[in-house]
Amino acid sequence: MLDLEDICLLIIEDGSEHQNHWLNHWAYGYPVHLRISTPKDRQPEHNVSAIDETVKNIVGNFFVVAHGNACPAFLQWLFDKDIQMHRHLLGVILANPCNWSNDESLPENRIVMPCKTAMVNASDDNVEVIAWTKNQAQKIHAKHLISPNTPTLNAPIGGWQWGMRLMQDMLLA
């Protein structure tokens, strides 16, 4: 039986979140979590290294929620990890992923997710952004979803309860 209290929530933000961002509410409300920022102006290899150092502090299983620019950084990190690490990763939500290059040599375009994964757009994202995200989700074997109750995932929207419910459903399925 899966004990949700023993799972570490790894929050990977892109560094542009404001004080009332939903990731802050998740950090306050989840009993065991680690948080890391992957600023867009930092070199990708530094973001991957920072994720690696943070994950070394996790004992046991974990669930990842990455937002914006953090999504490709997380996928780059995961690409080089072994099956033992993959076994500890219980699920991933890639929320409001930023567009990255379609270069097929990039790790984020070559990975196949080893666990349940959702790529989520906001309900007000334009058609091109939604189409790009849906295409990327198919490439990495993730489920593409559109958040039904938020105009934008960057807005001060409280705790983004739909996202919390998504995470819970993914863990319990």
Distance, CA of 6 to CA of 78 (rounded, Å): 22
Q: What is the DSSP string of the chain?
A: ---GGGPEEEEEE-S---TT-HHHHHHHH-SSEEEEE--TTS-HHHHHHHHHHHHTT--S-EEEEEETTHHHHHHHHHHT--HHHHHHEEEEEEESPPP----TTSHHHH---SSEEEEEE-TT--HHHHHHHHHHHHHHT-EEEE-TT-S-TTS--TT-HHHHHHHHHHHH-
Q: Which two tokens stand for residue 90?
A: 């219980």
With a cut of 70, which residues of the chain have pLDDT below it? 1-5, 18-20, 150, 154-159
Distance, CA of 90 to CA of 106 (rounded, Å): 24
- What's 96's domain CATH number? 3.40.50.1820
Domain with 150 in it: 4-172
How much is the mean pLDDT over the chain? Answer: 88
Domain count, the chain: 1
User: What is the predicted pLDDT for the residue at 3?
Assistant: 64
Give SS3 for 63. strand
User: What is the predicted pLDDT for the residue at 158?
Assistant: 62
User: What is the predicted pLDDT for the residue at 28?
Assistant: 79
